[in-house]
Amino acid sequence: MAAPVTRIDNLTAEQRARMPEWRDEWIDIGLRTGPADRPVFERNVARCYVAAGLEPPKRVVWVSSPLMLAFCGPAAALAIELRKRVATNPKFALALLRWLPVGSAVDSEVRSEVRSAVDSAVGSAVGSAVRSAVGSAVRSAVGSAVRSAVGSAVGSAVDSAVGSAVGNAVRSAVGSEVESAVRSAVGSAVGSEVESEVESAVRSAVGSEVESAVESAVGSVIRSAILSIVRQRWAYYLGGQFWVGGWYWGSPSFVSFFREVCGLDLGEEMSARALAYVGTAESACWWWPHKDFVMVCERPVQIRRDAQGRLHSATGKAIEWPDGWGFYRIHGVTVPEDLVTHPEQLTVSRISGERNAEVKRTMLEIFGLARYVAESKAEVLHENEDAAGRRRRLLRHDGMMFVEVHNSTPEPDGYRKTYLLAVHPELRPIRKGRELGQPQALTCQNAVASTFGLRGSEYRPEAET
């Protein structure tokens, strides 16, 4: 029987040839939609807790979206702490009962007592979240194992115990050149497709809604306490399917390539941790670990993207969960709902008043540059004829500048289409690396030349297409 593979310093041609296949398989897992595989997740999350030296969670609570998880996970942690205090402290229970029905009408002594107790409960609830412990036992431990196998080159108890531990094991067993090749071809590629584009958008959308709720919060100390813990701890989740790629050593796509394709032997215990973490990532979306429970959300029901992999839908939400939560994106830009559902209601004044440059650019794409310039009565800065004798104009409106160009190939009916090109307000040539050249006089010739990274004096085409 062949000796186990405990060190990898070179990849075979066959192993390298499997990188695209591995990348595509894990991108598919990261972007998977439809019902979560609940039995697989629940079995493997229990193993992650055990790896972290914790008792398996007493309850696995399923919710319908990351937003629901962000509010309900921390709120449930607070509720558990308050219940414990009510059960063990009659004075606190009485004070809480006096507080809840009448709010600010209670005397200051009771109000102070309840606020102090609730603040303390918040601290306990926050402290009992076990993301860091589980993460250290799983992602960090696995990552360390991979890292040491590779050579020089989730919270903290679950995250460290599983992901990081496996990553470290792999790191110590794999040579730096091999690690770099696999990371680039598999881990980073998957991370770019899934985590950089989709997960970051979801995290941003959830964070915005949490902040909005906190900013508008009014009312009782209990409500304030709930929103306080939500704000502090909503982000203590593990990413599930959205964390299958990326740079870190415990990445499921990265570790699994070495284990399954290269045959890397991490030992029985570390291999079990790796499989447990992979099992949670393959079967569900975000999860929020706590010492008494784990809350986990379903996969999206749909993820729509454009050819470049950006979240995109011109007809509905770009990503959506079973409870209907999601958001609208056009070519990766988050936009208001009505921009997708009722684009016909878009007006020049609304476009002109939009402060966000990316959203404004998207509005212009939907509205049409030619229509926008025509309806906005743009200022004509310069006009002349191009080399073929066709009339062209340099236009400005609302701080934006455009130059007209004409298609040299006529349509079947003889009509030549006119296009508008956005140019720098000072007609600075846009060179390689997005470097800007010097300002130019506001002429049509200089405007067209700037789109090619040239000055007007340098632009002398033999023919224009």
One domain, residues 289 and 384: no
What is residue 59's predicted lDDT score, i.e. its pLDDT? 93
Confidence of residue 266 (pLDDT cuts 50, 70, 90): confident
Q: How far is CA 79 from CA 83, 229, 277, in A?
A: 6, 11, 28
Helices marked H in 129-233:
131-135, 140-143, 146-150, 157-161, 163-171, 176-182, 188-191, 200-215, 221-233
What is residue 450's predicted lDDT score, i.e. its pLDDT? 92
Structure-token pair, residue 213: 């709720």
Residue 157 pLDDT greater than 90, yes or no: no
220 occurs within a structural domain: yes
Rounded to an integer, what distance in angstroms lies between the CA atom of residue 22 and that of residue 175? 20
What is residue 36's predicted lDDT score, i.e. its pLDDT? 97
One domain, residues 293 and 407: no
Confidence of residue 173 (pLDDT cuts 50, 70, 90): low
Residue 313 pLDDT greater than 80, yes or no: yes
One domain, residues 293 and 393: no
Residue 136 pLDDT greater than 80, yes or no: no
5 occurs within a structural domain: no
Q: Tally the C-alpha atoms within 13 A of residue 186's C-alpha that lie toward its C-beta.
A: 28
Higher pLDDT, 102 or 383: 383
Higher pLDDT, 173 or 310: 310
Higher pLDDT, 75 or 418: 75
Q: Sheet harboring 326-327: ordered strands across?
A: 302-303, 319-320, 326-327
One domain, residues 266 and 391: no
- Exposure string of 245-263, with b = 16+ CB inside 10 Å and e = fewer, is bbebbbbbbbbbbbbebbe
Confidence of residue 108 (pLDDT cuts 50, 70, 90): low
465 occurs within a structural domain: no
One domain, residues 145 and 55: yes
2 occurs within a structural domain: no
Residue-wise pLDDT tens digits, 362-387: 998 899 877 887 888 888 899 888 88
What is residue 60's predicted lDDT score, i.e. its pLDDT? 96
Question: What pairing do the DSSP bridges indicate for beta strands 59-63 and 293-297?
Answer: parallel
**Beta-bridge partner residues of 168:** 146
Question: Would you give the end-to-end CA distance of the chain in angstroms?
Answer: 67
Residue 128 pLDDT greater than 70, yes or no: no
Domain final residue, candidates 297, 325, 345: 297
Task: Please provide the DSSP assignment of 52-121 as one string.
Answer: TT-PPPSEEEEESSHHHHHHHHHHHHHHHHHHHHHHH-HHHHHHHHHHHHHGGGS-HHHHHHHHHHHHHH
From its phi and psi, is residue 5 left (phi > 0), alpha (psi between -120 and 50) or beta? Answer: beta
Q: How high is the mean pLDDT of the chain? A: 78
Residue 458 pLDDT greater than 50, yes or no: yes
Residue 76 CA from chain centroid, whole number = 25
Question: Residue 451 is part of which domain span?
Answer: 377-458
344 occurs within a structural domain: no
Residue-wise pLDDT tens digits, 352-364: 888 887 898 899 8
Q: Which DSSP helix (H) or strand (E) runs through 334? A: strand 333-334
Share of the chain above pLDDT 70, in %: 70
One domain, residues 42 and 171: yes
Confidence of residue 216 (pLDDT cuts 50, 70, 90): low
Domain final residue, candidates 282, 297, 312: 297
Task: Please provide the DSSP assignment of 274-296 as one string.
Answer: HHHHHHHHHH-S-EEEBSSEEEE
Residue 255 pLDDT greater than 80, yes or no: yes
Structure-token pair, residue 377: 């009565």
Q: Helix (H, G, I), strand (E, B), or coil: what is residue 5?
A: strand
One domain, residues 267 and 123: yes
The total of structural domains in the chain comes to 2
Residue 6 pLDDT greater than 90, yes or no: no
Higher pLDDT, 71 or 154: 71
One domain, residues 280 and 390: no
79 occurs within a structural domain: yes
Domain final residue, candidates 297, 324, 356: 297
Residue 132 pLDDT greater than 60, yes or no: yes
Residue 163 pLDDT greater than 50, yes or no: no
One domain, residues 274 and 405: no
One domain, residues 100 and 216: yes
What is residue 213's predicted lDDT score, i.e. its pLDDT? 75
One domain, residues 389 and 279: no
One domain, residues 36 and 144: yes
Other Cβ atoms less than 10 A from the Cβ of 75: the count is 19
* pTM for the predicted model, two decimal places: 0.76
365 occurs within a structural domain: no
213 occurs within a structural domain: yes
Q: Helix (H, G, I), strand (E, B), or coil: what is residue 456?
A: helix
* Torsions phi, psi for 224 (to 5 deg): -60, -40
What is residue 283's predicted lDDT score, i.e. its pLDDT? 97
Rounded to an integer, what distance in angstroms lies between the CA atom of residue 19 and that of residue 445? 48
What is residue 19's predicted lDDT score, i.e. its pLDDT? 80
